[in-house]
Amino acid sequence: MNSTCATSVGTAEGEARQRTLVSLFTNKWSALAIGELEDGPLRFGALQRRLRGVSPKVLTHTLRRLEEFGLVNRVVYPDIPLRVEYSLTEIGRGASGLLRDLRNWVDENMDEMLRASDR
């Protein structure tokens, strides 16, 4: 990144923005929602059922944040009743690949990590 850019890491503003984005990905529901959207668009209710345990309020907030940062598209269809679908954007698909790699790594190392935590 260009060192004269106001959002470069190394500047206070750049570091604050980076922390904001890292916290977005490390949020439990953000990472899980991105994972669920990997296979294609989902309506709110279907996504909530797949995530098991997320409240409507928290899921709404999570999806709004993901949309705000360009990771998720929200499409409203003028059907009766109103139909809303969520899908990953191109940058969201890129993030989903990284998060999938992380989930795979956790799966491969879970037993060892849990044994270590029991010591």
Statement: the pTM of the whole predicted model exceeds 0.85: no
Q: How much is the pLDDT for 67?
A: 97
Backbone angles phi, psi at 74, to 5 degrees: -120, 120
Phi/psi-derived region of residue 5, left when phi > 0, alpha when psi is between -120 and 50, beta in every other case: beta
How does pLDDT run across 105-115, given as a tens digit for each residue? 999 999 999 99
| Closest listed residue to residue 36, CA positions, set 108, 85, 78, 107 | 85
4, pLDDT greater than 50: no
How does pLDDT run across 30-88, given as a tens digit for each residue? 999 999 999 999 999 999 999 999 999 999 999 999 999 999 999 999 988 889 999 99
Domain-wise residue ranges, the chain: 12-117
Q: Which residue has the tokens 């990472």?
A: 31
Pick the CATH number of 12-117 from 1.10.10.10, 2.70.70.10, 1.20.1260.10, 1.50.10.20: 1.10.10.10
